[in-house]
Structure 1
């Protein structure tokens, strides 16, 4: 452990020294006041992401700079007494100026009258204005990874980009962790995806990286967000056009790993009068291999049985995603709109598994071959109607969302197993199994959010949400008898799950001279029923929970800022994890749901510190009760091992995160992120009465280091190298081995920067592997998995049409429920 700590200290010291070396030596004296204001465009709507400068009135010297947020608001902190002018600039608009404002010695907050931006009367044909945000930036309640200008974004999927985000990791089963903890809630454009880990992985792998603007990591969300997600929220922001007119972009990617892959996307946006129309289509074809080796020892009364299994999994995925919608400006302050989205994704899996069985290590008596073919279809349709009303210029606003989403999934699987003696002779009658697993999930939600500012420093937010979810899963299992397939009643089942959640929240925000405070509480009442039709397994639950949250940020001076936050959160089991279906790899290896899973609850605390708006340090602690965790269970009678989920007693997590950008030269910049954490798990004997699971009391210190280096070779040509190392760690019953990889990319812009060509290679040296061991009640399981991780991609992107359209960023209210739907 000492060597790990020494390495962390050395790496943190090194990255901090790079940044401090380039910083100014003298810090300005602390100011005494805060200047706030709002920008509006010609229609009276917020002018977002405009550049705002604070100038000295006497000589127009620039004092500070800022960007307006999505509400058009901006602020400058720690301002000395004096007379100032605010200047606002925005592409396509004339410069805006305020009247002089005065900061006196006794001032705490000075409000600037609204600045209204007017469209520029000049047409610029040859001038292109570009800006580059840092790859990683820290905001008051989240860390942001600006993907838009990254070389590695081109040709990579959203999942592959997410794996590169600071403190984020993805395991062999596509479970996403942040700072070592699973249970992350993923949102897209501030809307929950309603998908569980496997279906979310499908969506993220079919989302083109070129469409992503940024990835936000929110470790402690406020009461305004759904209470789901013990590890916090990852919010993927898609690009939006910020100007007026008609435009579009097209992207084509060709990739080669062991197999060829391709994906294309087209985005169009058109505004005419009060109407704005937008749409996106994307498709892709992916073929990949996944090799798994499993060695296990099953002990039963002193007798041991040894298994050595090698499985080659080949999969083909075809992605077809769409998103269309329109907005109508009923007035300069009120916009209504709709969004329709969905996908239809057929897939095929062909697996071959060979399992050797014996009573001594590496001495086998028999073996079996299992050939599996699975044909699947995953379809989704979602519809959102929304209304955004900016009631007045003070920030009073009301938003309403109504959502409907339906998932229709089906899979037909064939499992053929042949038995042999060690000499190759037949050892029994082949087993022929066939499964048909149709399922549907219907999600209906409605939500409303209201913001009321009492004044420039005090704001009240409150709202409510109602969701109604029904899942229907029907497993039709068949086995060959006398040469014909007949129903197998021991495996066939029908599982129906209904869930209704009513929620309400209130947030109070107050800004003082150097401190901002937000207090909130959310209440959620859940009523659910899980019914295994035709059996006595009916689980009814009804519970009311309160989820408080506290956020405090304090600015010491221009270079030093501290923050503290606390929240309580819940994680409900995914719909598929509640379903007691059995999914086979072969007769000795399968996966089964648990209808008796309970929700888990987490209390999270975090301290954070920011130096010079660049170096970010956070220290966190969380405690989770009834923690949902995977377990490998061995049936000592049948010798089979299956994976399921159980509730453990507690999980304690401690984490330290340091993120620092650095500049070596003008053409060489980088970012380093170090996360050190401890995870500790405890359980009682046989959690939830599942036989074969022993008592757990285990934990380990682990760390993750990620670096990104960007080289600006010319103004239009740059290169990027990214490294990622994750140490070994303990997660519940699993010991996960270390993982590491190196990625690289090149980017070239041309045609007046309308076109871009990018070449990238992930896992250049093909080093990334997933190796896991698990020991439970004397039964040892050793898993070695190698996915197809080394892939070269060539991406061409072209932006066309008028570059002056402004599309409103769309959100829906159905994301938390979607996040619990599973898809392969």
Structure 2
């Protein structure tokens, strides 16, 4: 297998060499090309560029400028043309007329400069802003930077409001109804588990976010993880020269007070750019969980458990980011980033359980008090180098990353047992847990891009990742006895990856085809009560991808995409440790989990570059799903993860922006989806669950008064089935208003989430001997007031780089 990986690496190098040779021997025929620049003469990417007839300004062709600001039109007949470039927030720019002839078919236009769209009106400057929701060819972008609802909210709060995204009671993120989403920050994987990722997102201040990109079908360039796509959270870029920054301070109140503070600084002098940020928040939340269970033993006798738990939680979160970029030349930039967090969490749970012949007749009861103190520490280092080999778009970049996570938990569970008359049934039970965890992540990657011709582009790259997690569990059953080392779990995973991708533009079509190869070596060793379990796996996978885009005319466009994906188990789901809620309820990991594989197909139709209809289908095998279980003898219930045989998912999505008046804009995002699960011999039965469901989200943006901006968002999710669980409908309404002062340097925002306090998670499951009902109500109605002050120089854009270690981080638990 190692020999095969070596051959793949040599093959990619040969492709690069052959691509360079092809570029030297291929002559463009019938093409018009050029470059877009910003006000500082730097490449301007992703603007809409149109080739127009000079006689009547009718559109001949349209395209987008690349990262390097380059645009190309091929198969152009001789004639006289002009070029027009437009994008949101910038004034349209038009070239002088030019003529192509059969004798000179390859025409290169003079560079066009884009200027920010602003106009002075009685000393008041009016600037264009991006819409809250923006649909692009391969992704949907939520422009958070100027959104009222971003003020005072965390990244998780904002993500829950993104189109097609939902977050369940356990903080699992779904896209169009499917779990298995890969979350990236600044184009880099986070390598965190669902719980750790939730902690990270809840402590990331919304004011530091620029946008959220939803990529349902990623190309071969991206890691193959994530069966339902990628969500990329982009932090704000440093755009200014000199010394500048911003200070944000906010407060919120729901059932408890909350606060958040953020400081960002940037200094650019010549070729050096230094940037940094620090965020802090103190949040106290509460949630109530009700759990009803019916346990049936082998004789048919039923026992009823009625549990209610108050779960107040206090978080103290601190995150930081420090970095620098240095331009060695106009073509070569090196940089480093140091980032991390240090967080604390205190949970004090009160759990009451009534046990009886039914839910009203109580034979006995118990009261469990849980005190849990958790700490989360992370530090990450990134070194990066980007080198532009020429002005045609040939570029090579490299990243080296190291991340360390140190998480710790000290928990105590005290349970008292009572008879119906209140007398003590049996002696008090005590359980103490100490669970230190250490995770090391090392990654390195190289990416290379080269235009082989003006219509053909090659991208290729290599990546290596090495992850080691070390978890320990120390326990005691007496407050006076020492803790005993009962469990030790170590997991190692190494992944070699390489990809090659070709992008070809035709007259009205563009095709992008790619292939990614990944070779995984993993080992899991668990030592529980001196019983050692060891599991090793080695597997090689190919992940093809295909994207076809067809422009019918100026108003109609269609595209098709296909990709194969993988989801490796999260690290904590492999850990076989048992974590108790009370003597009758616990959760545990499953070291025998296998990765799941998904084939995704998607068809898109776009009308007038705004209204989009999407049809999708995916099939996932060995789907990793949360499964409830019960021991009928002890009447103990538990939750674990298992591989189901197959999941079939269908989805239809409609996105439609609209304008009612100059001061009133909005958009509607509606998704209908079907999730079907099948698995034979699951807990003694054959599972065949599935149903259609839908999600709707409508956002209104109103500017009826000068300087004020109002936003209102309504969202609804119908009932749905996921695995063995039936989820009841969810709905909520959010609103906010903002106003700027002091020449837009001071901004004040006020918002209220879940105004009518309707957001709940209600779940049922009835399969084989499992019969349960879960009702969860989190603190969701929160009023927030946020002030942001911007200071310093604001004239020149500065480079922002993102690291290369995010897929692995996405699978860690408890991050910031």
TM-score by length of 1: 0.90
Mapped to 1, the partners of 2:463 and 2:540 lie a distance apart of: 14
Query: Residue in 2 aligned with 1:337?
Result: 335
- Is the counterpart of residue 371 in structure 1 residue 369 in structure 2? yes
Partner SS state of residue 426, structure 2: coil
Mapped to 2, the partners of 1:201 and 1:109 lie a distance apart of: 52
The question of whether the paired residues in 2 share the 8 Å contact of 1:45 and 1:332 is answered with: no
Mapped to 1, the partners of 2:704 and 2:60 lie a distance apart of: 32
Q: Where do residues 361-760 of structure 1 align in structure 2 (5 Å cutoff)?
A: 361-480=359-478, 484-487=480-483, 492-533=486-527, 534-686=530-682, 692=683, 694-760=685-751
Query: Residue in 1 aligned with 2:142?
Result: 145
Mapped to 2, the partners of 1:264 and 1:63 lie a distance apart of: 51
The question of whether the paired residues in 2 share the 8 Å contact of 1:192 and 1:819 is answered with: yes
The question of whether the paired residues in 1 share the 8 Å contact of 2:306 and 2:359 is answered with: no
* Distance verdict in 2 for CA 1:296–1:210, change over 3 Å: same
Q: Where do residues 781-800 of structure 1 align in structure 2 (5 Å cutoff)?
A: 781-800=772-791
Partner SS state of residue 511, structure 2: strand
Query: Residue in 1 aligned with 2:15?
Result: none
- Cα shift readout 1:77-113 (whole Å, capped 9, x = no counterpart): 9999863444679999999875533368999996534
The question of whether the paired residues in 2 share the 8 Å contact of 1:246 and 1:804 is answered with: no
Mapped to 2, the partners of 1:446 and 1:309 lie a distance apart of: 48
Mapped to 1, the partners of 2:610 and 2:74 lie a distance apart of: 17
Of stretches 53-62 and 427-436 in structure 1, the one that deviates more from structure 2 is: 53-62
| Aligned-residue offset at 1:243 | 4.3
The question of whether the paired residues in 1 share the 8 Å contact of 2:90 and 2:128 is answered with: no
| Aligned-residue offset at 1:366 | 0.6
Q: Where do residues 119-130 of structure 1 align in structure 2 (5 Å cutoff)?
A: 128=125, 130=127
| Aligned-residue offset at 1:276 | 0.4
| Aligned-residue offset at 1:485 | 1.8
* Distance verdict in 2 for CA 1:111–1:658, change over 3 Å: farther
Query: Residue in 2 aligned with 1:163?
Result: 160
Mapped to 2, the partners of 1:139 and 1:371 lie a distance apart of: 51
CA RMSD of the aligned region, Å?
3.0
| Aligned-residue offset at 1:73 | 3.3
Mapped to 1, the partners of 2:104 and 2:718 lie a distance apart of: 51
The question of whether the paired residues in 1 share the 8 Å contact of 2:719 and 2:728 is answered with: yes
Partner SS state of residue 808, structure 1: coil
* Distance verdict in 2 for CA 1:105–1:551, change over 3 Å: farther
Partner SS state of residue 379, structure 2: strand
- Is the counterpart of residue 780 in structure 1 residue 771 in structure 2? yes
The question of whether the paired residues in 2 share the 8 Å contact of 1:479 and 1:488 is answered with: no
Mapped to 1, the partners of 2:598 and 2:86 lie a distance apart of: 44
Tell me, which stretches of 5 or more residues in structure 2 are unaligned? Answer: 1-29
The question of whether the paired residues in 2 share the 8 Å contact of 1:525 and 1:543 is answered with: yes
Mapped to 1, the partners of 2:77 and 2:254 lie a distance apart of: 58
* Distance verdict in 2 for CA 1:158–1:427, change over 3 Å: same
- Cα shift readout 1:259-316 (whole Å, capped 9, x = no counterpart): 0001011111111111100001100011000100001000002111110000000100
| Aligned-residue offset at 1:658 | 0.2
| Aligned-residue offset at 1:647 | 0.2
Mapped to 1, the partners of 2:244 and 2:254 lie a distance apart of: 34
- Cα shift readout 1:6-60 (whole Å, capped 9, x = no counterpart): xxxxxxxxxxxxxxxxxxxxxxxxxxx9854322469874234678787776799
Partner SS state of residue 427, structure 1: strand
| Aligned-residue offset at 1:579 | 0.3
* Distance verdict in 2 for CA 1:437–1:92, change over 3 Å: closer
Query: Residue in 2 aligned with 1:26?
Result: none
Aligned length: 782
Mapped to 1, the partners of 2:760 and 2:544 lie a distance apart of: 40
Residue number among 230, 248, 261 corresponding to 2:245 in the alignment: 248
* Distance verdict in 2 for CA 1:199–1:80, change over 3 Å: farther
* Distance verdict in 2 for CA 1:391–1:556, change over 3 Å: same
Q: Where do residues 149-298 of structure 1 align in structure 2 (5 Å cutoff)?
A: 149-298=146-295
| Aligned-residue offset at 1:196 | 1.3
Mapped to 2, the partners of 1:39 and 1:269 lie a distance apart of: 26
Partner SS state of residue 210, structure 1: helix
Q: Where do residues 3-18 of structure 1 align in structure 2 (5 Å cutoff)?
A: none
| Aligned-residue offset at 1:352 | 0.4
The question of whether the paired residues in 2 share the 8 Å contact of 1:136 and 1:144 is answered with: yes
Mapped to 2, the partners of 1:604 and 1:91 lie a distance apart of: 31
| Aligned-residue offset at 1:584 | 1.2
The question of whether the paired residues in 1 share the 8 Å contact of 2:460 and 2:500 is answered with: yes
Mapped to 1, the partners of 2:385 and 2:142 lie a distance apart of: 29
Query: Residue in 2 aligned with 1:8?
Result: none
Query: Residue in 1 aligned with 2:756?
Result: 765
The question of whether the paired residues in 2 share the 8 Å contact of 1:708 and 1:723 is answered with: yes
The question of whether the paired residues in 1 share the 8 Å contact of 2:173 and 2:181 is answered with: yes
The question of whether the paired residues in 2 share the 8 Å contact of 1:247 and 1:805 is answered with: no
The question of whether the paired residues in 2 share the 8 Å contact of 1:44 and 1:333 is answered with: no
Mapped to 2, the partners of 1:128 and 1:35 lie a distance apart of: 37
Tell me, which stretches of 5 or more residues in structure 1 are unaligned? Answer: 1-32, 687-691
| Aligned-residue offset at 1:178 | 0.4
* Distance verdict in 2 for CA 1:535–1:126, change over 3 Å: farther
The question of whether the paired residues in 2 share the 8 Å contact of 1:43 and 1:332 is answered with: no
The question of whether the paired residues in 2 share the 8 Å contact of 1:269 and 1:805 is answered with: no
Query: Residue in 2 aligned with 1:816?
Result: 807
The question of whether the paired residues in 2 share the 8 Å contact of 1:247 and 1:270 is answered with: yes
The question of whether the paired residues in 1 share the 8 Å contact of 2:72 and 2:455 is answered with: no
The question of whether the paired residues in 1 share the 8 Å contact of 2:629 and 2:770 is answered with: no
Of stretches 173-182 and 354-363 in structure 1, the one that deviates more from structure 2 is: 354-363
The question of whether the paired residues in 2 share the 8 Å contact of 1:315 and 1:347 is answered with: yes
* Distance verdict in 2 for CA 1:679–1:741, change over 3 Å: same
Partner SS state of residue 412, structure 1: strand
| Aligned-residue offset at 1:157 | 1.1
- Cα shift readout 1:122-181 (whole Å, capped 9, x = no counterpart): x99967452122222222211112222221111111111111111110000000000100
Mapped to 1, the partners of 2:477 and 2:425 lie a distance apart of: 19
Query: Residue in 2 aligned with 1:326?
Result: 324
The question of whether the paired residues in 1 share the 8 Å contact of 2:210 and 2:235 is answered with: yes
* Distance verdict in 2 for CA 1:629–1:110, change over 3 Å: farther
| Aligned-residue offset at 1:74 | 4.5
* Distance verdict in 2 for CA 1:251–1:296, change over 3 Å: same
